[in-house]
Structure 1
Amino acid sequence: MARRNANGEGSIYKRKDGRYEAAISAPTASGKRKRVRVYAKTRKEAYDKLTAIVAQVRQGRPVADRTWRLDEFLDHWLEAAQRRPLTYRRHEAVVRLHLKPRLGRYTLDHLSVSTVQAFVNELQANGISDSTIHQARKVLSAALTYAVRQELLFRNVARLVQLPQYKPKEAQHWTPEEAARFLEAAKPDPLYPAFLLLALYGLRRGEVLGIRWQDIDLANGVVRIRQQVQRINGEIQQVGLKTTTSVRDEPLLSAVSTALLRRRREQDAARALAGDQWQGTDNDSELVFTTRSGRPVESRNLYRSFLRICDQHGIRRITVHGMRHTNATTQKKLNVHDRDIQAILGHGDVRTTGLYEHVGMDSKRMALEKVERSLLNVRAADDSARCRQELPSNKKKLHLNGEVLSGGSSQTRTGDTRLFRPIHATLQEQLTSIDEVARARTRTWKLGCAAVNLAVNPPPEDRRAA
């Protein structure tokens, strides 16, 4: 008589179609139990599949409540995960254009490293750009990570694929001199305060346009970054910042304060002229940068004004976001600590800040000249006229010693400025003068010592005479 399987061992039997079916009751991620069934051509294959499920259960890993196809799960992930509207739109486009058409038919448990690698290779063979391939893999990895957290998978296969080499293009940025030229040229523009905030604080476009008057604390000298303005689904909206670390307070610089006060007077005049047609809030929640009718300034209009100023004054074109890179690079040149730059820019990770700090030829030259001086004992070009340390033999102290020993006006003996005069003697002449003074003082000291010795211990004939 065949042995009856104990609870938890599952069962295997042959179906009428000739295949073998293995089944077992296992706990699911929701806490309920589910009858899990697997199929195979042979009994051994069915047994191996059943054993794998038993091992999974014994390791404390529940089975999925349902069998998810990847296309269904991606839709579920897009709706379930919390993300900003623009991020959602970008992820949805990747899912719709790349992931669903090529991987959507696979179930989650059948998605392997080789399957995803074949997907990457196919994109590359079809001429898809490396940046798009990296983005597609990034979105897939985020979705599978969510599946792992929901205990639908035990590993993220998207993290194990090999991607084509990809190096993002270095963002265009200005030198400090170019940025100063732009700010000078932008002074007559109504959006000059916005450009000043972009340049001095390295703010994002949406952050600048999202500043309200209640965020400007003139009494305490603080600018508070709390929201941003973006166009979402065809409407300009005031939304939250990119990350939690983007919420920050910045010191209100004097130049910015002056520009903002001028901006408020201009806005008050525009509000009075618009009258009932004013579409702003007309209180402290009013945006600092508004149109003549009180509506928020669009990001693309800020960019148009930015390019117009560049073209009119022959300034090299960059993007508005390039001013954020300019700010970080300028701070780096001024030896500002990376952690301070990170806090000013509102980055969550100092490694991200490093991507904004660009190294130019001047920075490389200064660094390598330091190495040259350290290894080859070579003086800097502007250091050739002086010694490395203040030794008693340096020229400055030779002047001082010469003046003191010769009675010159070093203000050691007199404060009469009429006695100040430059020393025109050569270095050798000064050394000779010092040696003569030293010898004279030595002779005087020796004679004094001899006189004292004779007074205390007179010769024998002098003692008899006494």
Structure 2
Amino acid sequence: MPAKRNPNGAGTITKRKDGRYQAAVYVLQPDGTTARKFAYGHTWAECDEKRQELIAKNRKGIPTPTRSAKLSEWLPYWLDNIVKPRRKLSTYDKYEAQVRLHLAPGLGTKRLEALSVQDVRRFLVRLERQTTAATAKEAHRVLRTALTAACREELITRNVVSLVEAPRPDAREITPWSLDETLTFLEAARGESLYAAFVLAITMGLRRGEIVGLKWDQVDLERRTLRVAKQTQRRRGVLYDDDPKGRRRRTIPLPAMCVAPLRWQRMRQADARRRALADKTGAGWQESGYVFTTRTGRPVEPRNLYRAFTRVAEDADLRVIRLHDARHGCATLLTAAGVPPRVVMEILGHSQISITMDVYTHVVQDTQREAISHMDRMLKRKR
């Protein structure tokens, strides 16, 4: 009777001349190919247990390299099979750029198991000299995330990047508009087609993509609420809807001063719809449901929102700030008004309370400075 053979993919176990047992299994490699992997044991049962572990990982699609993979092999696999299916397109693009421009050229020849703390530190110091501390810090974050995934897949036993301190870029000083400057801007923007968008940015701290991606079914003017559920981004030449930053959907009470501009925006849009439908030579109207649209109903380009914001500021002789700085100004005004940091965090959709506390600390310091000035006046001796 012929000997029973294991099914394909189950591997084999043989006894070596030195008395140990050897298992051989074809396993998946990080580059998508297969190769023969050997495992050893002092007993047949010990060797069989290792064989079954290799088979189980192979069935789950987890690569088991026959040799330690190079970073130039692991990083593309990580991007395509771990980052792309689970993370936002904008995140994938940022990670891919770091891998292509910095990590692969600087550390690609290093093998995962052989990568040392010294290798990572030297790379970051060199990168900071060639570019900026902010770029080096982002490279540190991306590499740490990639090696954390390698640890989960048991390709390495420790993440050496976690042992290296990230570079510390100088914090960019943010100087949002004062209350007077904000009021001047709103007065100058009153006749603009995107006036309601500017009001939302200033009073509610909405991000640019959240404003452009806002739809009418997320706005309830009767109950005065607004739901932030999507943001519109342009990536690779295409406009697309995505989850808000940090995937933090939120419903926010609508300030009273936002209601009239939004009603005006709805009437203006209805008029544009009638004009577009009546124009037989034009492109017609494309119903999209967005609050802010072009004259044909298409969503507004995120970059055009910032361009309009900058143009109004320049025409009003105001110093030009980023549209995102208006969001920071909203946080400052809310905090100065005594709104608790946790509430400010929920309104703005911050992912961490520490981000809100940075603003809160700034406002508290200003308040302390004012209190000390009162003390100076009280204790100042009359001459």
What range describes the TM-score normalised by the shorter chain of this pair? Answer: 0.7 to 0.9
Give 1:153 deviation, angstroms.
1.8
Helix, strand or coil: the match of 1:32? helix
Give 1:226 deviation, angstroms.
0.8
Higher relative contact order (CA 8 A, sep 6+): 2
Q: Are 1:325 and 1:358, in contact at CA under 8 Å, matched by a contact in 2?
A: no
Segments of 5+ residues of structure 2 without an aligned counterpart are 1-16, 23-37, 42-46, 57-61
CA distance in 1, matches of 2:175, 2:77: 39
Counterparts of 1:59-208 in structure 2, within 5 Å, are: 64-67=64-67, 68-79=69-80, 80-81=82-83, 82-125=86-129, 127-208=130-211
Q: Name the amino acid aligned to 1:24.
A: Y
CA distance in 2, matches of 1:336, 1:70: 48
Aligned residues: CA RMSD:
2.8
Question: What TM-score do the two structures reach when normalised by structure 2?
Answer: 0.78
Partner of 1:31: 53
CA distance in 2, matches of 1:267, 1:33: 61
Q: 1:148 to 1:293 in 2, by over 3 A?
A: same
Q: Are 1:124 and 1:133, in contact at CA under 8 Å, matched by a contact in 2?
A: yes
Q: Are 2:144 and 2:162, in contact at CA under 8 Å, matched by a contact in 1?
A: yes
CA distance in 1, matches of 2:39, 2:202: 66
Report whether the alignment pairs 1:260 with 2:262.
yes
Q: Name the amino acid aligned to 1:181.
A: T
Partner of 1:223: 226
CA distance in 1, matches of 2:230, 2:135: 29
Question: What TM-score do the two structures reach when normalised by structure 1?
Answer: 0.65
Give 1:72 deviation, angstroms.
1.3
Bigger Rg over Cα: 1
Helix, strand or coil: the match of 2:306? helix
CA distance in 2, matches of 1:319, 1:160: 36
CA distance in 2, matches of 1:29, 1:164: 43
Q: Decide which moves more: 192-201 or 174-183.
A: 174-183
Q: Name the amino acid aligned to 1:290.
A: T
Partner of 1:462: none
Q: Name the amino acid aligned to 2:183.
A: A
Give 1:348 deviation, angstroms.
2.0
Q: Are 1:325 and 1:357, in contact at CA under 8 Å, matched by a contact in 2?
A: no
Helix, strand or coil: the match of 1:173? coil
Partner of 2:250: 248
Q: Are 1:221 and 1:252, in contact at CA under 8 Å, matched by a contact in 2?
A: yes
Q: Name the amino acid aligned to 2:120.
A: V
Report whether the alignment pairs 1:299 with 2:321.
no
CA distance in 2, matches of 1:249, 1:315: 32
Q: 1:5 to 1:215 in 2, by over 3 A?
A: same
C-alpha distance after superposition, 1:336-362 (max 9, x if no partner)? 100000000011210122234472674
C-alpha distance after superposition, 1:8-60 (max 9, x if no partner)? 9xxxxxxxxxxxxx9735777982269xxxxxxxxxxxxxxxxxxxxxxxxxx
Q: Name the amino acid aligned to 1:220.
A: R
CA distance in 2, matches of 1:219, 1:133: 49
Q: Are 1:329 and 1:358, in contact at CA under 8 Å, matched by a contact in 2?
A: no
Give 1:279 deviation, angstroms.
4.2
C-alpha distance after superposition, 1:96-147 (max 9, x if no partner)? 011111211111111111111121232234x321111111111101101111
Partner of 1:388: none
CA distance in 2, matches of 1:32, 1:294: 56
Segments of 5+ residues of structure 1 without an aligned counterpart are 9-21, 35-61, 382-466
Give 1:95 deviation, angstroms.
0.3
Q: Are 1:29 and 1:150, in contact at CA under 8 Å, matched by a contact in 2?
A: no
Partner of 1:278: 284
Name the count of aligned residue pairs. Answer: 329
